[in-house]
């Protein structure tokens, strides 16, 4: 029995047969946009290579504070 995902989370098969969400590579930008949308001004995090792009975006935002 096949399962189908509905909505924006719909997955796609790539050439290798892997299942990947449509915006999987762009997720840091999408999360950053949501942080900005909700006027988040303070960001805390544990450094992690998987979150590197999101951390860079938060560091670059002059109106966001972050731990030293």
pLDDT of residue 17: 59
pTM: 0.55
| Spatial CB neighbours of 68, under 8 Å, sequence gap ≥ 6 | none
Burial of residue 58 (CB within 10 Å: 0-12, 13-18, 19+) is buried
pLDDT of residue 19: 58
pLDDT of residue 37: 96
Q: Tokens representing 18? A: 């892997």
Helix (H, G, I), strand (E, B) or coil at 29: helix
Tens of each residue's pLDDT in the chain, 68 residues:
444 444 444 445 556 655 556 667 789 999 999 999 999 999 888 888 888 899 899 889 988 876 65
């Amino acid at each position: 029995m096949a399962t189908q995902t509905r909505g924006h989370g719909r997955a796609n098969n790539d050439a290798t047969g892997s299942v990947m969400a449509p915006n999987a590579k762009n997720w840091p930008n999408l999360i950053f946009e949501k942080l900005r949308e909700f006027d988040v001004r303070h960001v805390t995090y544990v450094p992690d290579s998987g979150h590197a792009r999101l951390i860079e975006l938060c560091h670059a935002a002059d109106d966001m504070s972050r731990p030293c």
